[in-house]
Chains A and B, each alone.
Chain A
Amino acid sequence: MQFSVLVETRLREGVADPEGATIERSLPALGFDGVAGVRVGKCFRFTVEADDEPGARAEVDDMCARFLTNPVIEDATVTVEAGVAH
């Protein structure tokens, strides 16, 4: 079976995010007031082949732990659904 995967990585809570802070400070200049908690991350979309959804999720979790994130400073949320990523 094919599964469509979305991995979103971001700096862990408590790790300073200077990029997010800079964006947050810039928003009021464009009239966007009241925005708080800006965090910048990356997202990855891809398709994996697996027997079932737990199998796909286990594979992606392993991928995150060993490659897509640096666990010292980042964590990830993983979304898996049947189908092909696009």
Chain B
Amino acid sequence: MAAVVGVVVFPGSNCELDVVEAVGSLGGEGRLLWHGDSSIGGVDAVVLPGGFAHGDYLRPGAIARFSPVMQAVQEHAAAGGAVVGICNGFQVLCEAGMLPGALQKNAGLKFLCRPATLRVEASDTALTTGVEVGTRLSVPVNHFEGNYTCEPHTLAELRADDRVVLRYVDNPNGSVDDIAGVCSAGRNVVGLMPHPERASHPLLGSTDGVPLLRSLLVTAGALTA
């Protein structure tokens, strides 16, 4: 049976169908979840997709974390379930306190929309299971507020616990320690600014997002590594 990946649709999300398509092309089932529902309907994994949830009003992710579905997403994560936040979804996870740190405006104040080369830094997270440390992946970024920052003691903790999942090879946005993605202490919640679903088919110019999405399906229980 195909693993079901629930993709949360907030008002203003705009990458949900890309994720559903990419998951489907890899043998999983992508299922849209509405932010106003209080349940995630028993899905195996959850993706918070890119976009502008609730218009990014106040701050990106600041209002999305109050959406009713987030309680269920938190419970899923607390039970060890995989949750991945992509771009705006990463911002939501940080605002919700499910991941440490915050994402602020890019250092150069430019909206960045281009491929970024990433280095895989940890191979035992929901998003990188079976992907060797050191692997380089070309995956597009598409953001204005992707400049990851955190308190020095948080950064020390992330490094000590090997929770930096992905780093930029050539830092495009000023992120501290070149961080492109981090994970929770349980390694089942992962947030990243780049969009693996936009690098999931040769027609898109890169298939380097496939190992990441495949890992999510493996974690969700459908495929074997």
Q: Are A19 and B105 in contact (CB under 8 A)?
A: yes
| Complex Cα spacing A73 to B94, Å | 12
B1 interfacial by beta-carbon distance below 8 Å:
no
Q: Are B105 and A72 in contact (CB under 8 A)?
A: no
- Total interface residues on A, using CB and 8 Å? 11
B223 interfacial by beta-carbon distance below 8 Å:
no
Q: Which single member of A16, A22, A70 contacts B62 (CB below 8 Å)?
A: A70
- Total interface residues on B, using CB and 8 Å? 18
| Complex Cα spacing A70 to B102, Å | 8
The stretch from B106-114, B162-170, B186-194 touching chain A is: B106-114
User: A16-B107, A18-B107 are contacts. A72–B62 as well, Cβ < 8 Å?
Assistant: no
Q: Dominant SS at the A interface?
A: mixed
Q: Which residues of A contact B59 (CB under 8 A)?
A: 70
> Number of residue pairs across A and B with beta carbons under 8 Å?
32
User: A68-B58, A72-B101, A73-B102 are contacts. A18–B151 as well, Cβ < 8 Å?
Assistant: no
- Nearest residue, chain B, Cβ from A70: B102
- Interface flags, A11-44, vs B, CB<8A=1, else 0: 1000110110010000000000000000000000
Q: Are B108 and A18 in contact (CB under 8 A)?
A: yes
Distance in angstroms from A20 CB to nearest chain B CB is: 10
Q: Are B150 and A72 in contact (CB under 8 A)?
A: yes
| Complex Cα spacing A68 to B95, Å | 11
Q: Are A18 and B106 in contact (CB under 8 A)?
A: yes
Q: Are A18 and B109 in contact (CB under 8 A)?
A: yes
- Nearest residue, chain A, Cβ from B63: A67
| Complex Cα spacing A85 to B59, Å | 23
Which has the most chain B C-beta neighbours within 10 Å: A22, A72, A73? A72
Q: Are A67 and B109 in contact (CB under 8 A)?
A: no
Q: Are B109 and A72 in contact (CB under 8 A)?
A: no
User: A67-B62, A72-B150 are contacts. A18–B95 as well, Cβ < 8 Å?
Assistant: no
- Hey, which bits of chain A sit against chain B, CB under 8 A? 11, 15-16, 18-19, 22, 67-68, 70, 72-73
Other than the known A16-B107, A72-B100, A73-B102, what 18 A-B pairs have Cβ atoms closer than 8 Å? A11-B104, A15-B104, A16-B174, A18-B108, A18-B109, A18-B174, A19-B105, A19-B109, A22-B109, A67-B58, A67-B62, A68-B58, A70-B59, A70-B95, A72-B94, A72-B102, A72-B149, A73-B149
